[in-house]
Amino acid sequence: TGMRVAVVGAGVSGLAATKCCLDEGLEPTCFEQSQDIGGLWRYTEHIEAGRPSLYPSVISNTSKEMSAFSDFPFPEHFPVFLPNALLLDYLRRYTEHFSLRQHIRFESTVVSIRKHPDFAATGQWDVVTEAGGKQTSHVFDAVMVCSGNFSEPSLPLQCFPGIERFRGQHFHSRQYKHPDVFQGKRVLVVGMGNSGVDIAVEASRVAAKVTISTTRGAWLLSRVFEHGYPWDMILNTRLMSLIKTSLPGPLSWWLINYKVNQWFNHENYGLQPENRYSWCWLVREPVLNDELPSYILTGRITIKPGVKEFKDNSVLFHNCPEEEPIDIVVFCTGYTISFPFLEESIVRVENKHASLYKYVFPPQLQKPTLAVLGLIKPFGAIMPVAEMQARWVSRVFKGRGANVSPPVAQNAAQTKLDMVCPFTQGDPRAKKFRWLVYLDTLASFIGAKPSVLGLLCTDPWLALTIFFGPCSPYQYRLGGPGRWQGARQAILTQWDRVLKPTRTRVPAGSSSSSLSLLTVVGFLLLLAAVIFGFL
């Protein structure tokens, strides 16, 4: 028999983990506590304990071409940014295409994962699951933890003086479903992540007044970026990554400040981050929202500093002497990392951070047979990251020479950064995490990193597209283990799939054919203009 692997959770990471195990000839068993796949992306009207909770209006923040699994593009007719129902549909298609469902045990909760008595020799794990009120013990050769990080809300009420005497309603954003609850109310949203801004925008359509309280501020990006193209297909390119990593820090900071303020001046809208040099690419992810600036401009939403104190029916903000009357408070204060089925010694979590080598492996284990997937918040799509982690981990489990050892002490500072998994926004330890650099690093471990210079000799058009164009996930299937024959074609037709759902009216005299060549050339010219605009 092959190596038996337990996969915890059947969301994005769990499905990728199951598929990658099968690719490597391993025998995965995926335990999913609910009755269906999808994890975060499966909307339910009621809130289920231990599961992420989604509000029905959620749309993906990353475009379909940058969010796809590397050997399974989204259907061309799907919109560029995906409503949650369509993203779930994509996950269902992925599950069926690669025959994953037969390896998933639904309504099976993982109760505990403990080292087997002879772990030092075998690396095995004792896994206890519960289904239908009955517990079952299993022995697995390896474990992939894919339980996500959006199930345990962080609600530090002790940080908000006077909240105990506030007479209005207050709840965590995890409990939010529909804006009806805000009808005619004065609403305060505490926190300015993606959920906080989404909820504030929705609430402002029915509420009497909406205020966002933010201590640090945030950079704001629109999904609709340069010349109407998706933001991540413009910003997450190899050329842009090279510019960001090569320029001196202060110059990089100035360029990014300049770029994000081209849409609107953040300072004039009360959004400028507290430390203007803590730019989103390095310290905290930006907020993605297309509507907030116009809602501020039309008075629907007001931005205020951090909360100083709650009163019976009002709130005081720092540096603001006037009390603001409010009826409802929504705390958009994020989530905590939680592994209730693991002993604390396995994955150490301190201050909402898990110590993991390359954000995946607990460094203190004698045998690298347990990995945590999808526990990061990249400036880019999570699906290609979770999949790349799964490809690396499954090869480590298989014993195929993929790097898993932390580097020697000659670079102790970088090693420490590599072993801190950033989860909270604004943590300085998150600054070294870059989406493309991280993907390239893991890809190099398994021999799947594309060689632009090598391709320049054999396939120059593809090489130029890879370097100047978006770093779409298909690049990591051009060679190495798991090579996919359709990767080259997927890369060269990616702009076709972007234009297909939007270019639904073609004016007379305009050609809709040969989109691949035209759009790629157009994009390269656009990118050149963007770079010269920078410089």
Whether 139 and 58 have beta carbons less than 8 Å apart is answered as no
Q: Which residues pair with 110 in a beta bridge?
A: 129
- Tell me which residue has tokens 């939403």: 301
- The answer to which of 15-19, 283-287, 501-505 has the lowest mean pLDDT is 283-287
Q: Which of 16, 53, 330 is nearest to 204 (CA)?
A: 330
Domain boundary among 442, 462, 482: 442
Largest CA distance in the chain: 74
* Residue 294 shares a structural domain with residue 412: no
Pairing of strands 420-421, 353-355: antiparallel
Residue 501 lies in a domain: no
pLDDT by residue (tens digit) across 168-190?
999 999 999 999 999 999 999 99
Domain boundary among 276, 304, 333: 333
Q: How many CB atoms lie within 10 A of CB 87?
A: 24
What single-letter DSSP state applies at residue 451? -
Does the pTM of the predicted model rise above 0.75? yes
**What tokens were used for 388?**
């790349």
**What tokens were used for 476?**
């990591």
* Residue 144 shares a structural domain with residue 206: no
- Tell me which residue has tokens 């907030």: 292
Question: What phi and psi values does residue 401 have, to the nearest 5 degrees?
Answer: 75, 10
Structural domain tally of the chain? 3
Residue 300 lies in a domain: yes
Residue 387 to residue 19: CA distance in whole angstroms: 9
Task: Report how far apart, in Å, the C-alpha atoms of 434 and of each of 31, 135, 212, 262, 422 are.
Answer: 31, 41, 28, 23, 11
- The answer to which of 126-135, 210-219, 363-372, 522-531 has the lowest mean pLDDT is 522-531
Res. 191: pLDDT tops 80: yes
Question: What phi and psi values does residue 197 have, to the nearest 5 degrees?
Answer: -70, -40
Structural domain that includes position 468: 451-496+511-533
Domain boundary among 423, 442, 461: 442
**Please, is 117 exposed, middle or buried when counting C-beta atoms within 10 Å of its C-beta (0-12, 13-18, 19+)?**
exposed
At residue 458, the 3 state secondary structure works out as: helix
Q: Determine the pLDDT at residue 1.
A: 63
Res. 402: pLDDT tops 80: no
Average confidence (pLDDT) over 237-241: 92
Residue at 3: amino acid letter: M
Residue 320 lies in a domain: yes
- The answer to which of 137-151, 215-229, 244-258, 420-434 has the lowest mean pLDDT is 420-434
* Residue 177 shares a structural domain with residue 241: yes
Sheet (strand 4-8) strand order: 104-106, 27-32, 4-8, 142-145, 370-372
For the chain, state the CA radius of gyration: 24
Whether 56 and 177 have beta carbons less than 8 Å apart is answered as yes
* Residue 56 shares a structural domain with residue 98: yes
Pairing of strands 209-213, 186-190: parallel
Residue 23 lies in a domain: yes
Extended strands (E) in 407-514? 420-421
pLDDT by residue (tens digit) across 81-132?
999 999 999 999 999 999 999 999 999 999 999 999 999 999 999 999 999 9
Q: Which of 37, 25, 24 is nearest to 100 (CA)?
A: 37
Residue 244 lies in a domain: yes
Q: Which of 486, 406, 482 is nearest to 447 (CA)?
A: 482
Q: Which residues pair with 178 in a beta bridge?
A: none
pLDDT by residue (tens digit) across 24-82?
999 999 999 999 999 999 999 999 888 889 999 999 999 999 999 999 999 999 999 99
Res. 303: pLDDT tops 70: yes
* Residue 39 shares a structural domain with residue 133: yes
Q: How many CA atoms lie within 13 A of 262 on its CB side?
A: 13
- The answer to which of 224-238, 265-279, 310-324, 480-494 has the lowest mean pLDDT is 265-279
* Residue 168 shares a structural domain with residue 77: no
Please, which contacts does 259-268 make with residues 24 or more away whose CB atoms are closer than 8 Å?
A: 259/534, 260/219, 260/220, 260/221, 260/286, 263/220, 263/221, 263/222, 263/293, 264/220, 264/293, 266/217, 266/219, 266/220
Residue 105 lies in a domain: yes
* Residue 191 shares a structural domain with residue 220: yes
Residue 320 to residue 310: CA distance in whole angstroms: 13
CA 233 to chain centre: 16
Residue 127 lies in a domain: yes
Residue 223 to residue 366: CA distance in whole angstroms: 44
**What tokens were used for 323?**
């009390």
Q: What is the CATH number of the domain that holds 380?
A: 3.50.50.60
Q: Residues 295, 260, 280, CA angle at the centre, nearest 5°?
A: 100
Residue 124 to residue 115: CA distance in whole angstroms: 7
* Residue 18 shares a structural domain with residue 135: yes
Average pLDDT value over all residues in the chain: 89
Q: Determine the pLDDT at residue 282.
A: 45
Residue 400 to residue 436: CA distance in whole angstroms: 24
* Residue 297 shares a structural domain with residue 398: no
* Residue 129 shares a structural domain with residue 168: no
One DSSP character per residue, 218-230 reads: --EE-SB-GGG-B
Residue 48 to residue 178: CA distance in whole angstroms: 16
* Residue 122 shares a structural domain with residue 235: no
Task: Report how far apart, in Å, the C-alpha atoms of 273 and of each of 199, 277, 424 are.
Answer: 20, 8, 16
